[in-house]
Amino acid sequence: MEHGSISREPEREERPAITDLVERLSHFDGPPEQFLFNLLAVQCYITGAEGGAILRIGQGGQPEVIAVYPALGKGGTAPVWLAQSVESSLQVFNTGATAIAPLHGPDSLYGQPATRHIVLIPLRAGGGIRGVSAFVVKAGDDAALLASRERLELTASLLTFYEMRLTLQQRQFDLNRLKTAMETLSAANERDRFASVAMTLCNEVAARWQCERVSLGFLKGRYVQMRAMSHTEKINRKMKLIQDIESAMEECIDQDVEILHPAPADATYISRAAADLSKRHGPMAVLSLPLRKGEEPIAVLTVERPLDNPFTVEEIEALRLTCDLAVPRVANLYEQDRWLGAKAAAGTRKLLAAAVGTKHTWIKILAVAILAAVLFITLAQTDYTANAPFVLEATEQQVVPAPFDGYIKTVNVDPGDMVEGRKTDSATGGDGTILATLDAAELELQLAAVKADHASYLKQRDAAMRDGKTADAQIAQANADKVAAQMDLLKQRIAQANIKSAISGRVIAGDLKKQIGAPVKTGDILFEVAPIESLRAEISVSEDQIADVRIGQKGELATASYPAQRIEFVVERINPVAEVVNQKNVFKVRVRLLNTYQWMRPGMEGEAKITIDRRSYAWIWTRRLVNWLRMKLWL
Residues 198 and 328 in one domain: yes
Q: Are 285 and 306 in contact (CB under 8 A)?
A: yes
Q: Are both 423 and 516 inside the same structural domain? A: yes
Q: Tell me: do 579 and 438 sit in the same domain.
A: no
Would 284 be classed as within a structural domain?
Answer: yes
Do 310 and 188 share a structural domain? yes
With contact defined as beta carbons under 8 Å apart, do 56 and 130 qualify?
yes
Q: Which of 122, 155, 188 is the last residue of a domain?
A: 155
**287 occurs within a structural domain:** yes
Mean pLDDT of the chain: 83
pLDDT of residue 1: 41
> Tens digit of pLDDT for each residue in 307-346?
888 888 888 888 888 888 888 888 888 887 776 766 677 6
Q: Using one digit for the tens of pLDDT, what is the confidence trace for 357-376?
A: 667 778 888 888 999 999 99
Quick check: is 250 in a domain? yes
Distance, in Å, from the CA atom of 443 to the CA atom of 429, rounded to the nearest integer, reads: 19
Rounded CA separation 66/37 (Å): 10
272 shares a domain with 207: yes
Measured CA distances, 447 to 175, 440, 443, 455 (Å):
126, 10, 6, 12
Residue span of the structural domain in which 609 resides = 531-633
Contacts of 177 (CB under 8 A, 6+ apart): 314, 317, 318, 321
Write down which residue in 468, 497, 529 finishes a domain.
529
Question: Quick one: 555 and 520 in the same domain?
Answer: no
251 shares a domain with 228: yes
Q: What are phi and psi of 116, to 5 degrees?
A: -120, 140
CATH number at residue 617: 2.40.30.170
What's the rounded Cα separation, in Å, for the pair 462 and 468? 10
Same domain, 198 and 344: yes
Q: State the Cα angle at 211 between 207 and 215, rounded to 5°.
A: 95
Q: Does residue 3 lie in a domain region?
A: no
* 621 lies in the same domain as 579: yes
> Which amino acid is located at 379 in the chain?
L
Q: Residue 591 above 90 pLDDT? A: yes
Q: HEC string of 272-294?
A: HHHHHHHHHCCCEEEEEEEEEEC
- The 8-class DSSP code of residue 546 comes to G
In a domain, 311, yes or no: yes
Task: Round to whole Å and give the CA distance between 390 and 537.
Answer: 6
pLDDT of residue 14: 58
CATH code of residue 141: 3.30.450.40
Strands of 418-419's sheet, edge to edge? 398-401, 525-530, 505-509, 418-419
pLDDT at 302: 93
pLDDT on residue 76: 65
Cα separation, 399 vs 508, in Å, equals 10
Residue 75 inside a domain? The answer is: yes
| Single residue among 120, 155, 190 that ends a domain in this structure | 155
Instruction: Indicate whether 492 pLDDT > 80.
Output: yes
Specify the higher pLDDT residue, 152 or 539: 539
| Count of domains forming the chain | 4
The closest of 455, 341, 44, 45 to 53, measured between CA atoms, is 44
Q: Please tell me whether residues 525 and 539 are part of one structural domain.
A: no
Using the predicted structure, report yes or no on whether residue 474 has a pLDDT greater than 80. Answer: yes
> Is 514 domain-assigned?
yes
Give me the pLDDT at residue 3, please.
42
Tens of pLDDT, residue by residue over 376-431, are 998 999 999 999 999 988 877 778 888 888 888 888 888 878 888 876 554 444 57
Residue 220 lies in a domain: yes
**C-beta of residue 489 within 8 angstroms of C-beta of residue 446:** no
Whether residues 327 and 203 fall in one domain:
yes
- On whether both 479 and 408 belong to a single domain, the answer is yes
Query: 76-128 pLDDT, tens per residue?
Result: 677 888 888 888 888 888 888 888 888 876 665 555 677 788 888 888 776 67
Residue 42 contacts residue 157 (beta carbons within 8 Å): no
pLDDT score of 72: 81
Q: Is the pTM of this model over 0.75?
A: no
